Amino acid sequence: MKALLLIAYTFLITSANAQDKIEGVGPFKIGKTKVSDLTGIAQSLGAKFEEVLPDTVEAIQKGKVGSHAAEGSLCPNTKKFNAHKLNVAGVNFNNVFLTFYRGNLVDFWSDGSSEIEQAFTEKYGSGKAKGETIATWRGKSVQADSRTDQHHYFNVSHISLAYEAQMCNRKAFEKVRSEYAKSKNNPLKDL
């Protein structure tokens, strides 16, 4: 009985420690990779990244934007980049979006696939599943998810910094919308 408990305890500790080591995807280390590293990483992987610019002020003012990973950020501390295809350690990633906040990578987003899930399961163990989440691997500050809601996607992010980047963008978005609403209601604006 003691041997069985020891094996179960060892398994739990090993599983927990494996997930604590989640750092990102290949050379894309969450919280560590800098914007300035992107050119070198892209060259080493044979990939091409393009900066994702925010929607026009006119589109924002008219409310014709959402909050998808594919959208640029209005936050001055945030930059987003996109690569259509990327191969990291033999695993294919499609439609990749990288979010950098204050110069550091905080979010890696791509289309999901069973190939990605299998690679993460082999490296970090079985993730936890719940609702639309196929699998979640959670470390101390970095979390990886394979999810399906309207679309199957894969995401690795710094739990608190990715949230800060989203809030910064939301505040900037609301500021533009508010300024537009004020100018629209001001009858003297065109004088």
pLDDT digits (tens, 9 = 90+) for 116-134: 888 888 888 887 877 667 7
d(CA 73, CA 100): 10
Q: What percent of the chain has a predicted confidence (pLDDT) above 90?
A: 27
User: Which range has highest mean pLDDT (31-40, 55-64, 136-145, 167-176)?
Assistant: 31-40
pLDDT of 19 reads: 45
Query: Where exactly are the structural domains of the chain?
Result: 25-183
Give how far Cα 5 sits from Cα of 17, 38, 128, Å. 18, 46, 22
Selection from 76, 95, 63 nearest residue 181 by Cα: 63
- Does pLDDT of 61 surpass 60? no
- Is this structure's pTM higher than 0.85? no
**Count of residues making up the chain:** 191
d(CA 102, CA 91): 28
